[in-house]
């Protein structure tokens, strides 16, 4: 079953909650699963998003220090965690490797995304910008885009070169984005009860670490 709220596609809303000094991982350290890839990226699958001959070779690797690195030089793709999820909190720490000039750093955290990428939800991240949801959903049988960039409560993403902590919570139709100490964005009309989480590669070198997942049971949601 999917949630039918397509008539509210443009009725976006941000839940303004008090700043949370600690992440969910810090507040409740029990019940988390380490979902970091294995040495050959075991447990995750790399998938191309747009046709690009550069994407034939992987741009993802797990370094000896445990950091997952996307080199950002093999086109547009995503690394998908192989286990489909329902309700959860996904904890991600990331930083961009700085480059010269003033580039528009670009990547994202996928949640509740279909395996074939036909419908997807993403928490957009950049350098000094991001933390908002956008993606594609079905409206009256048509694929339509939504974008909550204009509904960002505050800008908390740090500059390239600095580590950020981001947590996405999916509870029923509600997706919540927490970045570096506060809830900054919320989307209330997710049409999928289940989907995949993943990391995006889109032209910039980015590092990820401490990837952890906490499944949420019905009892926790009451």
Ramachandran region of residue 54, left (φ > 0), alpha (ψ -120 to 50) or beta?
alpha
Give the tens place of pLDDT for each residue, 105-163: 999 999 999 998 889 999 999 999 999 999 998 888 899 999 999 999 999 999 999 99
DSSP 3-state of 45: strand
Give the tens place of pLDDT for each residue, 183-211: 999 999 999 999 999 999 998 999 999 99
Q: Tell me the C-alpha distance between 25 and 28, whole Å.
A: 5
- Cβ count within 10 A of residue 113: 23
All domains in the chain, ordered by first residue = 15-221 (2.60.120.560)
Sheet (strand 107-113) strand order: 44-48, 76-81, 196-202, 107-113, 120-125, 130-139, 142-147
142-147 and 76-81 as β-strands: parallel, antiparallel, unpaired?
unpaired
Q: Report which DSSP code applies to 138.
A: E
Structure-token pair, residue 15: 């839940």
Q: Is 65 exposed, middle or buried (0-12, 13-18, 19+ CB in 10 A)?
A: exposed
Q: Tell me the C-alpha distance between 35 and 64, whole Å.
A: 16
CB 208 within 8 A of CB 68: yes
Q: What is the reported pTM?
A: 0.87
């Amino acid at each position: 079953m999917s949630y039918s709220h397509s008539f509210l596609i443009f009725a976006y809303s941000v839940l303004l909650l008090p700043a949370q000094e600690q992440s969910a991982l810090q507040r409740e350290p029990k019940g988390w699963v380490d979902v970091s890839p294995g040495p050959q990226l075991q447990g995750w699958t790399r998938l191309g998003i747009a046709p690009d001959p550069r994407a034939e070779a992987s741009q993802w690797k797990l370094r000896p220090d445990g950091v997952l690195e996307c080199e950002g030089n093999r086109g547009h793709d995503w690394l998908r965690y192989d286990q489909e999820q329902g309700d959860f909190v996904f904890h991600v720490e990331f930083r961009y490797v700085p480059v010269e000039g003033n580039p528009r750093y670009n990547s994202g955290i996928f949640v509740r995304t279909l395996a074939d990428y036909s419908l997807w939800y993403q928490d957009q991240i950049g350098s000094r910008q991001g933390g908002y949801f956008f993606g594609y959903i079905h409206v009256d049988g048509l694929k339509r885009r939504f974008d909550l960039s204009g509904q960002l409560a505050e800008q908390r993403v740090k500059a390239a070169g600095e580590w950020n902590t981001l947590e996405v919570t999916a509870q029923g139709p509600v997706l919540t984005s927490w970045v570096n100490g506060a809830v900054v964005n919320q989307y209330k009309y997710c049409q999928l009860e289940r989907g995949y989480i993943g990391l995006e590669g889109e032209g910039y070198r980015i590092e990820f670490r401490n990837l952890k997942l906490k499944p949420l049971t019905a009892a926790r949601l009451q």
